[in-house]
A and B are shown apart, each in its own frame.
Chain A
Amino acid sequence: MGVKLLLDKANVPGIRTYEVYRREGGYRAVEKALKEMTTDAIVEEVKKSGLRGRGGAGFPTGMKWSFIAKPDGVPRHLVCNADESEPGTFKDRYLMEFLPHLLIEGLIVSSYALGSNDTYIYIRGEYAWITDILEQAIEEAKAAGWLGKNILGTGFDCNIHVQRGGGAYICGEETALIESLEGKRGNPRIKPPFPAIQGLWMRPTVVNNVETLAAVVPIINMGGEEYAKIGVGKSTGTKLISACGNINKPGVYEIDMTITVEEFIYSDEYCGGMKDGKKLKACIPGGSSVPILPANLLLTTAKGEPRYMNYESLSDGGFATGSMLGSGGFIVLDEDQCIVKNTYTLARFYRHESCGQCSPCREGTGWMEKILQKIETGKGEMSDIDLLWDIQRKIEGNTICPLGDAASWPVAAAIRHFRDEFEWHVKNPELAQTSNFGLQHYADPIHVPA
């Protein structure tokens, strides 16, 4: 069993309620932080922990916190990003649904460290029942004196508010999220200014992911140095992985980042192997926007070394032969899955979610969707594959926000690793409607444990 720091109590009956959470040692981090630590000392502890943002980009959290501007007389805000809309990702939902007080506790400590008296949780609108769970947890925490005015007699005031979004993936991008929180369309802002200087209502703001803020609790309890001992290299601590697709046990798993991808897929502690004994074809290891990898490059790097479930190892080889840990949305595809169709649904997703501000993203995502649909429905031509490649290259790096990149990477990686399957679709338009390319990509039998 790997170390668990976030979900260790997830199975304790009643842990969702304040009484049980407190009895199990909850809110100790708030006591310690507010009574025994200065705000600088908390930031220092988070820096020492090596914690990297769990929302997808992996930016060091302590460093981000140290950037927040502190002009006199201007309120600062902490905003918790609970928009969780990247296909394949459902870990924040699990954490909020089953351990709401862990998030609230992390938010209080983090709000104190950043000087945020009004902290907002921006949650995707569809998670309506989780909004109710969070609001109840906030009421319980307030009644017990952990929120409100003069918390623990320290003079620190803090309130937490939950705002539901309206259904828009782009509002997960931090500046679009801020716009949305101000009651506007979710159009990302041009940076600079960065939110740390001018964010919500033009005030200094830090936006962090749910899991990032929950991880602050074990960091304060055990100390940054101890936290950093878990994991490997720059992948410190534990990471939540939401696993889905053609596996026996889809769900949310907390891993310490020293296990191999092979163990994660095939061991009973995690995904429990491939469903119906099928063979592994491909995997998108970090949410829909990261590059898809064929089985052979997923289980081992190009150098032939085992691949591990951490930031460095998953990106080993760059985009040529690697991928990314991203948001931890782990999507597994078996031999019956069609890469063209899968890529098409993702292209449709990004077209639907483009905010439309930049022409390369607005137009490019539309073209990619149409061309992929054409190939998928048996009307594609060989030149379409090159056209797709060309379009994704023209989007990448030419847009205001990273959604453009997020839309191009899946298309690029699918063509890079599965070009033969695209060509097969074009050459066999009828056959492709009723059958599947299967595992023909693999010249050598892939290494798949029994």
Chain B
Amino acid sequence: MATTFNDTQMTEFKRLVARYPEGKQKSALLPALHLAQESFDGWLSTEAMDYVASLLQIEPIEVYEVATFYSMYNLKPVGKFVFEVCQTGPCMVSGSDNIIDYIKKTLDIRPGETTKDGLFTLKLVECLGACGYAPMMQVGKIYKEHLTKEKVDSIIAEYKALATNN
């Protein structure tokens, strides 16, 4: 996987940087890291971070500092789809424990692990702002809410189908 942006990605990168005043291009770092993660297999390798540093003309360490601080950046390879299940109080009182157990059993992985076929990673996360629609999880850009065991089954089937069709 190449760690340079293609033309479309570069256009988006330039749009992100243009939002800040002259000389303040470092402000684009968080959005740029999101773009890099989406562009390069869902995680940030050292090469990817160094590349972002060179584009923004900042030191690599400034990028590492930031990438390690925020929970959305993956610093290790992840599955094609990451199930980020919320486990905080409001979700917990609405039954998230059962959903987490069910996903663990169904995919046969523990939190932080990826299935052998490389399709799914399970990640336990803290409140995602969907407390009224609990239990819930985030998959990529999408929120899956009001989870039940049946719904989890159909979500897994949905992403499996997506993977085979691509």
A163 touches B30 (CB 8 A): yes
Partner of B88, one of A87, A243, A246: A87
Residues of B contacting A84 in the complex (Cβ-Cβ under 8 angstroms): 129
B65 touches A124 (CB 8 A): no
Partner of A288, one of B58, B89, B129: B89
Interchain CA distance A233-B33 in the complex, whole Å? 46
Chain B residue at minimum C-beta to C-beta distance from A77: B21
Interchain CA distance A21-B34 in the complex, whole Å? 31
B69 touches A168 (CB 8 A): yes
Interchain CA distance A124-B92 in the complex, whole Å? 22
B66 touches A88 (CB 8 A): no
Q: How distant is B36 from chain A, measured CB to nearest CB, in Å?
A: 12
Q: Chain A 233-259, CB within 8 Å of chain B: the 1/0 string?
A: 000000000111110001110000000
Partner of B127, one of A87, A129, A180, A201: A87
A-B pairs under 8 A by CB, number: 145
Q: How distant is A340 from chain B, measured CB to nearest CB, in Å?
A: 12
Q: Chain A 5-43, CB within 8 Å of chain B: the 1/0 string?
A: 000000000000000000000000000000000000000
Report the contact-size class of chain A (Cβ under 8 Å from the partner).
35 or more
Residues of B contacting A90 in the complex (Cβ-Cβ under 8 angstroms): 129-133
Decide: A349 near B89, CB < 8 A? Known: A84-B129, A167-B70: yes
Q: How distant is B23 from chain A, measured CB to nearest CB, in Å?
A: 9
Residues of A contacting B94 in the complex (Cβ-Cβ under 8 angstroms): 244-246
Residues of B contacting A440 in the complex (Cβ-Cβ under 8 angstroms): none
B69 touches A166 (CB 8 A): yes
B132 touches A252 (CB 8 A): yes
Number of B interface residues at 8 Å Cβ cutoff, please give it.
Answer: 41
A244 touches B134 (CB 8 A): yes
Decide: A166 near B130, CB < 8 A? Known: A161-B19, A180-B30: no
Partner of B129, one of A124, A161, A186: A124
Chain A residue at minimum C-beta to C-beta distance from B132: A250
Partner of A87, one of B26, B29, B30, B89: B89
Residues of B contacting A86 in the complex (Cβ-Cβ under 8 angstroms): 127
Chain A residue at minimum C-beta to C-beta distance from B141: A128
B70 touches A345 (CB 8 A): no
The A304-358 residues at the B interface (CB cut-off 8 A) are 329, 331, 333, 337, 341-342, 345-346, 348-349, 352-353, 355
Please report A residues at the B interface, Cβ cutoff 8 Å.
75, 84-90, 93, 118, 124-129, 161, 163-169, 180-186, 201, 242-246, 250-252, 284, 288, 329, 331, 333, 337, 341-342, 345-346, 348-349, 352-353, 355
Please list 8 pairs of residues, one from A and one from B, whose beta carbons are closer than 8 Å in the complex, sorted by A's number: A126-B138, A166-B70, A166-B73, A183-B58, A183-B62, A185-B69, A242-B131, A345-B92
